[in-house]
Structure 1
């Protein structure tokens, strides 16, 4: 596991400098100081390595955004969303940079499918946010507002990442909140119709099954040492098998695991399953 993480960290540095396509497995192994054989014990190919990097970053990002959207007071929700977004970009700036670069010319169908799935999850989180913040008054323009917000995030992220600009995050967040409020209050000509939005948002809208969650929980339980996170995972598995805890207890157990780097995604999936 340690060697796999080392390869991911070092490969990410190279990808940030050169891009996915221009970086070879040989360059990665030379940079890591390992043999090709050691690389292939961890990853079947460079493409598999790239997909694992995507999963690692996007699962952390989506989980943090989803939690913020569902647990922040609605008066502070827009600010919390933009803060969480840019904090994540700053923490993972190398990956954020190459992700923005590479989405325009994806390496494979699998890359596209992964990104569409995460993009869909982000759409759902933003939709939940704007419905909480603005209520029914934005019903006719809410789907356009989703893509406007995503446009703000992508464009300002690119501006910051590729120009090495000093960032006053407070000012940036206030500016984006103001822009979003202006659009929500004054937009009158929607482009994305309910019919189009249904097509865009319905794909891959299936919850993970209880059986799949139990399998994931068992994997995590085997990975973790004794800790409050492991104990909480065990109790959540028990809740799936034989429900007995109140929603408040389930929410507390999810709080115990949500910040652990190896538990963020399972906490996201469980929040969705328990509708918390």
Structure 2
């Protein structure tokens, strides 16, 4: 994303946190940024579009930090603790903005935002599941979904204390403690041979089997629509990405490298975010 768009996002976040989403006008955002209202619309089609770009921008920031953690020489447990810590800290940093959303239920559920939030929720399920499998292995194969949802419930409880009650936690200790609770859950399942309530079958009903193929189809369609009107270098980049997306075994390193060529192009911000979110890269 270009620097000017990021600047507008950062100023808008401050205004939304202070005044609320509904009460903040496009003109006020433009004034705060020292630009004209017309210039605002060169970067964002509407205030709702700006809000969606805010979500993509900050999900991308978390993903960048997650990538850095994954590249480190750490064991799966250490990586997951650090990933949890990153998420907590990002939420704390934007606490006032989140409070604003809770207070006025500011998120306008148009199709784009609803799809984004659904995709992020489903990705979160799989992210937790993958990390737990990396840590505990086959010992939790049968109960991994139940532990995943229980851990996310614990996470949300702490988030409520942070956001609503403004409780100050030592985040590193908090994340280590959360995973220790998971140790107890794993031990309990293994010792009692208890059967999980939340099973693969239940989760397959929540996350449709064709959900990810539908998401991929939408990404491909979005890239193809933009390809025809793009400069040659962008067309070439899109062509490489499309080739990988249509492959039975897409090379994530190639996709990730090509996305860096599109990130500075504002019109591609959302589709880049969708691809990174889809592949968690």
Alignment check: 8 A CA contact 1:12 1:94 kept: no
C-alpha displacement of 1:9 = 1.0
Q: Distance in 1 between matches of 2:105 and 2:150?
A: 19
Deviation string 1:175-198 (CA, Å, 9 cap, x unpaired) is 211122222332546332322200
Q: Distance in 2 between matches of 1:124 and 1:19?
A: 32
Alignment check: 8 A CA contact 1:7 1:32 kept: yes
Alignment check: 8 A CA contact 2:22 2:106 kept: no
Matched, 1:172 2:213: no
Deviation string 1:33-66 (CA, Å, 9 cap, x unpaired) is 4332222222221101101111111233246447
Distance 1:142 1:255, change over 3 A: same
Instruction: Describe the SS at the equivalent of 1:120.
Output: helix
Residue aligning to 2:41: 40
Q: How does 1:37-76 map to 2 (within 5 A)?
A: 37-62=38-63, 64-65=65-66, 68=69, 72-76=74-78
Alignment check: 8 A CA contact 1:62 1:118 kept: no
Deviation string 1:148-180 (CA, Å, 9 cap, x unpaired) is 222232332332244444432222122211122
Residue aligning to 2:85: 83
State the TM-score, normalized to the length of structure 2. Answer: 0.68
Residue aligning to 1:113: 115
Alignment check: 8 A CA contact 2:99 2:164 kept: no
2:211 corresponds to which of 204, 217, 221: 204
Residue aligning to 1:143: 145
Distance 1:100 1:165, change over 3 A: same
RMSD: 4.7
Higher relative contact order (CA 8 A, sep 6+): 2
Alignment check: 8 A CA contact 2:100 2:106 kept: no
Alignment check: 8 A CA contact 1:21 1:107 kept: no
Residue aligning to 1:127: 129
Residue aligning to 1:192: 198
Instruction: Describe the SS at the equivalent of 1:112.
Output: helix
Q: How does 1:234-249 map to 2 (within 5 A)?
A: 240=244
Matched, 1:15 2:22: no
Alignment check: 8 A CA contact 1:12 1:95 kept: no
Alignment check: 8 A CA contact 2:16 2:97 kept: no
Instruction: Describe the SS at the equivalent of 1:205.
Output: helix
- Structure 2 residue runs without a partner (length 5+): none
Alignment check: 8 A CA contact 1:15 1:98 kept: no
Deviation string 1:218-264 (CA, Å, 9 cap, x unpaired) is 9xxx8x9xxxxxxxx99x87x959x9xxx9xx78888989999x499
Distance 1:170 1:213, change over 3 A: same
